[in-house]
Amino acid sequence: MSPISTGADWDFELLERYDTAIAEVAAEYGLDTYPNQIEIITSEQMIDAYATSGLPVGYPHWSYGKEFIRNEQAYRRGMQGLAYEIVINSNPCIAYLMEENTVTTQALVIAHASYGHNSFFKGNHLFRQWTAADAILDYLVFARRYVMECEERHGATAVEEVIDACHALMPHGVDRYRRPAALSYKAEAARLAQREAYKESQFNDLWRTLPEGAAGQAATAAKKSFPADPQENILYFVEKYSPKLEPWQRELVRIVRKLAQYFYPQAQTKVMNEGWATFWHYTILNRLHEKGLVDDGFMLEFLKSHTNVIAQPGFDSKAYSGINPYALGFSMFRDLRRICENPDAEDREWFPELAGSDWRVTLDFAMRNFKDESFIAQYLSPRLMRDFHLFAVADHVSEDTLRVDSIHDERGYRRVRKLLATQHAQELRVPDVQVVRYDRDGDRSLTLRHIRRRGRPLHDAASEVVLHLRRLWGFPVRLETWEDDIRVGDVVECAA
Amino acid sequence: MLHLIDRRPNGRGKSAVNRERFLRRYKAQIESAVKKMVGERRLSDMEQGGEVRVPKRDISEPSFGFGRGGDREFVLPGNREYVAGDRIPRPEGSGGGGRGNQGGEGGSEDDFVFSLSREEFMQIFFDDLELPNLARTEMGHTERKKSVRAGYSKSGVPSNLSVIRTLRQSLARRIALSGGIAREAELVEAEFAVAVAAGHATRAAELHGQLDRLHRRRNRLPFLDEVDLRYRNRVWKPEPIARAVMFCLMDVSASMDEDKKDLAKRFFTLLYLFLTRKYGEVDLIFIRHTDDAEEVDEDTFFHNTRSGGTVVYSALELADTIRAERFASGWNVYAAQASDGDAFGADPARSARFLREKLLPATRYYTYLELAAPDSQDHSSTLWAEYERVAEASANFAMRHATKREEIYPVFRELFKKESQ
């Protein structure tokens, strides 16, 4: 077959032809995707999109302005390139392509975003469980409208204060064990109206003064400690129980909480998601080349961008900025395929049930059922650890130097793998802070407890976060630190 | 199944509202940065945008995170020589190893730097300033006009179409044109009834046909015809405007050394930018004086050098002459004078008297800026002392000192602060 195109320029018709070819290959490999929507944008629009974490609609807030200015500045000075694409987990799956890209890059991006990421969004259990791809755009429209209405009614400063406080608590605004109901604009608006109407209809000032019976007093005693169990979703607790919030403020808390929940799976699957998309653009474009649909020039250009994306500088290099999720994820999926197709003795020992299995089934299973932490714990092979020269360093307060804990050798493989997996665990990135007590019958103060593990303290910004929470809560807030059931450290307290 | 959309025509600016919010939130910091910049700038760059620094901690968004301390392990790529059990000295400054972006807020405390556009810069620069006592009374020449409603016209652009008027016309036309037909139809119908009653079948058929034709004629009347269209009409009407003239009087005598001249020029540059930006229709008259005064153009005023003795009176007199000749009535007259006040003999007293008696009654606002060497102890020149007495007696006169570059902008702001504040 003759190549689809030569040269660097692209037009819409060409994009469609590439998409058709890529879709064909993706179907060959059995990728299951949402329908695609591809939008062409300029670099300025890309910077715009950056500022709102890629969401096409967002409520106005100064922090997005700050993010925008930061990106624009960095881009103008050439300190930072722009991503070739942004992809949104929605149905249809929206991918933004920059107009400056060459036709090769566009094809790469279509394969990467519209087939790689897209199938991941549709298949991975975390996304299936936590995000409603059908409803997210609707909900964003609702959120934006609602925030702007509030600004009109209550003033931009008042709204900003609430949203600032919510943003500070955003990492602590996610449910980890319950599936939220799907949201849509209409349902949300109707529910809101109903909720307010009910509250109004139930309000009766008289009931306040009724004396409590014996049963009531007993109930009060039982309620002494509230909530019965510690609550990890602080924003949810605030939304439900804050004694002072106005209904509209509650709704703002809810909106930020929903957004936090929407991003929750993304943070936990960075390595897998990027790895999966990179693996597929690599596989699909190579297949196109095999079929003769793209020429060698195309492949050279593609491989250049591809190698840039999956570069992993060493820890002592100037370019080092953490483990590159693209590099790690791509290598793991490729390695997995290798283990299935040509396993060696080591692979047979480490992955007896994978060696020699159908790679498509194995990869599909891995993509669907894991998150970064478990994916690494399960599939990182000794060979990859050697390739990456991974080693673990221990930083303990009791020792005055760092100690190399284990390296990529026979004794260290399992330990390094376990540590790398833990490093990608969401639970270890966000400190464990929970609501333990709401003094409903006393001064209405709220007590948070930070469960410290292995002596790792909160950083100084904690006091500011408590201040923000105080603003939301309306009554005193205190933050205690506990380790091994003993209270340690200072109590951060914000009285009035 | 691909859905391709070209979003490029949508325009950028989606973040403009967020950017503006950011600027508003950090207005105080940005303002002080702008103020600092003014002192450091070269005169010719005064109008440019510029970079603003805001300390990072002021704009941080706090959240619970891990601080330094405690036990932990981390995995790094790129091992070359280490084996298990090796000791590595703790790196300076950071919590441990090159842990990149996971180290929390610890590391760098760089300022957040970003640039303001020229527009934004000037906006902040001249925020809340105005010309005092400006009266908006004059019917100007012809430049300033306002568009006002003036009835309806038969021609116009579609966006000005007045639907109600048009339909009213259409209705009237239809009533008028169908009146004749209706009357005729009535006659024919009556005749038809007679013919039917009399049993003249052919006559009845003929009449029926006639009736039909009439009906068709009526139906052919267009619902809306071009003659019905009515457009809202607008005409341009001249509007009263505020006409103002600013006299800039600068002392360029020998006692004004380079530093003082620089101060004076800075002051007038600010004044010039302020007036040309905020008030499009302000006339500027530049007068510089030594022992005699001359009117010069803007370029000469700011860039040429000249030297000589000092006679303030000459400048005031020239200003008054020009005012009387060209701006006698209908003008808001302003004047700003900058000098080191180093006048001698009878000049200060004479100038002050002239100012009090002739110039001040004719001006809305008069400012005097006295420039002194930074190290001079005693600011009060003879002119200052004389002017002080003028200031006590009149409300539309203000005077200030400036010795350093940084003072120029605050002094300028003080002089032209909005009255309400």
**Which three-class secondary structure string do you get for B224-285?**
CCHHHCCEEEEEEEECEECCEEEEEEEECCCCCCHHHHHHHHHHHHHHHHHHHHHCCCEEEE
Q: Map tokens 């060979």 to a residue.
A: A383
Which of B60, B63, B105 should one mutate to test binding to chain A, selecting the residue with the greatest count of A CBs within 10 A? B63
Contact A92 B4 (CB under 8 A): no
The alpha carbon of B270 is separated from its chain's Cα centroid by a whole number of angstroms, namely 15
Q: Which of B297, B374, B361, B269 is nearest to B323 (CA)?
A: B361
Task: Name chain B contacts of A462, Cβ cutoff 8 Å.
Answer: 62, 64
Instruction: Give residue B134's pLDDT.
Output: 67
Are A330 and A314 a contacting pair, CB within 8 Å? no
Instruction: Give residue A208's pLDDT.
Output: 65
Instruction: Give residue B167's pLDDT.
Output: 94
Contacts of A121 (CB under 8 A, 6+ apart): A34, A89, A93, A127, A131, A133
Are A126 and A33 a contacting pair, CB within 8 Å? no
Share above pLDDT 90 across residues of chain A, in percent, rounded to a whole number:
28
Cα–Cα dist B354/B319, whole Å: 11
Task: Name chain B contacts of A40, Cβ cutoff 8 Å.
Answer: 4-8
Instruction: Give residue B377's pLDDT.
Output: 60
Contact B21 A323 (CB under 8 A): no
Cα–Cα dist B241/B138, whole Å: 6
Instruction: Give residue B102's pLDDT.
Output: 38
Please give the residue of chain B at the shortest CA–CA distance from A73: B114
Q: Map tokens 């692209």 to a residue.
A: A10
Q: At what angle do helices A43-51 and A62-76 cross, to 10 degrees?
A: 140
Query: Would you say residue A21 has pLDDT above 50?
Result: yes
Instruction: Give residue A166's pLDDT.
Output: 92
Distance between B74 CA and the closest CA of chain A, angstroms: 5
Residue B93 near chain A (CB below 8 Å):
no
Q: Are strands B50-54 and B2-6 parallel, antiparallel or unpaired?
A: unpaired
Phi, psi of B6 (to 5 degrees): -95, 110
Cα–Cα dist B153/B80, whole Å: 87
Of the partner residues A41, A45, A392, the one whose CB lies closest to the CB of residue B73: A392
Cα–Cα dist A227/B25, whole Å: 37
**Which three-class secondary structure string do you get for A341-364?**
HCCCHHHHHHCCCCCCCCHHHHHH
Average model confidence (pLDDT) across chain A? 86
Are A222 and A440 a contacting pair, CB within 8 Å? no
Are B30 and A68 a contacting pair, CB within 8 Å? no
* A178/A188: higher pLDDT: A188
**Stretch A453-461: mean pLDDT, rounded?**
85
Instruction: Give residue B355's pLDDT.
Output: 86
Q: How many helices (H) and strands (E) does chain B have?
A: 12, 15
Residue B149 near chain A (CB below 8 Å):
no
Cα–Cα dist A111/A90, whole Å: 17
What are the pLDDT digits (tens) for A251-297?
A: 999 999 988 888 888 888 999 999 999 999 999 999 999 988 888 88
CA distances from B83 to A401, A409, A459, A478, B129 (A): 15, 9, 32, 45, 69
By the 10 Å C-beta count (0-12 exposed, 13-18 middle, 19+ buried), A9 is classed as exposed
Of the partner residues B66, B84, B106, the one whose CB lies closest to the CB of residue A412: B84
Residue B12 near chain A (CB below 8 Å):
yes
Separation of first and last alpha carbons in chain A: 75
Task: Name chain A contacts of B81, Cβ cutoff 8 Å.
Answer: none
Note which residues in 60-79 of chain B have CB less than 8 A from chain A: 60-79
Instruction: Give residue B107's pLDDT.
Output: 37
Instruction: Give residue A252's pLDDT.
Output: 93
Contact B80 A389 (CB under 8 A): yes
Are B400 and B369 a contacting pair, CB within 8 Å? yes
Q: Which of B109, B110, B106, B112 is nearest to B29 (CA)?
A: B112
Instruction: Give residue A332's pLDDT.
Output: 94
Q: What is the largest CA-CA distance in chain A?
A: 88
Please give the residue of chain A at the shortest CA–CA distance from B24: A62
Of the partner residues A41, A390, A409, the one whose CB lies closest to the CB of residue B77: A390
Which of B7, B20, B64 should one mutate to test binding to chain A, selecting the residue with the greatest count of A CBs within 10 A? B64
Contact A12 B71 (CB under 8 A): no
**Stretch A47-61: mean pLDDT, rounded?**
80
ipTM exceeding 0.85?
no
Instruction: Give residue A279's pLDDT.
Output: 94
Are A452 and A487 a contacting pair, CB within 8 Å? no
Task: Name chain A contacts of B66, Cβ cutoff 8 Å.
Answer: 431, 456-459
Phi, psi of A483 (to 5 degrees): -140, 130
Instruction: Compute the count of residue pairs across chains A and B with CB atoms less than 8 Å apart.
Output: 270
Distance between A173 CA and the closest CA of chain B, angstroms: 12
Residue B81 near chain A (CB below 8 Å):
no
At residue B235's C-alpha, the angle toward residues B231 and B238, to 5°, is: 165
Residue B102 near chain A (CB below 8 Å):
yes
Cα–Cα dist A148/A163, whole Å: 12
Which of B5, B68, B79 should one mutate to test binding to chain A, selecting the residue with the greatest count of A CBs within 10 A? B79
Residue A374 token pair: 């478990």
Contact A64 B59 (CB under 8 A): no
Residue B9 near chain A (CB below 8 Å):
no
Pick out chain B residues at pLDDT < 70: 1, 11-13, 39, 41-47, 56-58, 92-111, 128-129, 131, 133-144, 239-241, 280, 374-380, 419-421
Instruction: Give residue A217's pLDDT.
Output: 59
Distance between B273 CA and the closest CA of chain A, angstroms: 27
Of the partner residues B90, B98, B113, the one whose CB lies closest to the CB of residue A315: B98
Range of lowest pLDDT (A51-65, A153-167, A480-494, B47-61): B47-61
Range of lowest pLDDT (A33-37, A449-453, B42-46): B42-46
Range of lowest pLDDT (A204-208, A312-316, A424-428, B284-288): A204-208
* A382/A57: higher pLDDT: A382
Of the partner residues A40, A164, A429, the one whose CB lies closest to the CB of residue B6: A40
**pLDDT bucket at A220, cuts 50 / 70 / 90:** low
Distance between A153 CA and the closest CA of chain B, angstroms: 18
Contact A423 B74 (CB under 8 A): yes
Of the partner residues B12, B59, B66, the one whose CB lies closest to the CB of residue A459: B66
Contacts of B90 (CB under 8 A, 6+ apart): A395, A400, A401, A402, B96
Contact A322 B101 (CB under 8 A): yes
Please give the residue of chain A at the shortest CA–CA distance from B79: A389
Which of B29, B75, B83, B101 should one mutate to test binding to chain A, selecting the residue with the greatest count of A CBs within 10 A? B75
The alpha carbon of A386 is separated from its chain's Cα centroid by a whole number of angstroms, namely 29
Residue B83 near chain A (CB below 8 Å):
yes
Of the partner residues B17, B23, B70, the one whose CB lies closest to the CB of residue A397: B70
Contact A456 B71 (CB under 8 A): yes
Instruction: Give residue A183's pLDDT.
Output: 66
Distance between A91 CA and the closest CA of chain B, angstroms: 12
Of the partner residues A69, A394, A407, the one whose CB lies closest to the CB of residue B83: A407
Cα–Cα dist B366/A243, whole Å: 58
Please give the residue of chain A at the shortest CA–CA distance from B72: A395
Task: Name chain B contacts of A420, Cβ cutoff 8 Å.
Answer: 75
Q: Map tokens 């002072």 to a residue.
A: A244
The partner residues of A95 in beta bridges, in order of sequence, read A38, A87
SS3 at position A53: coil
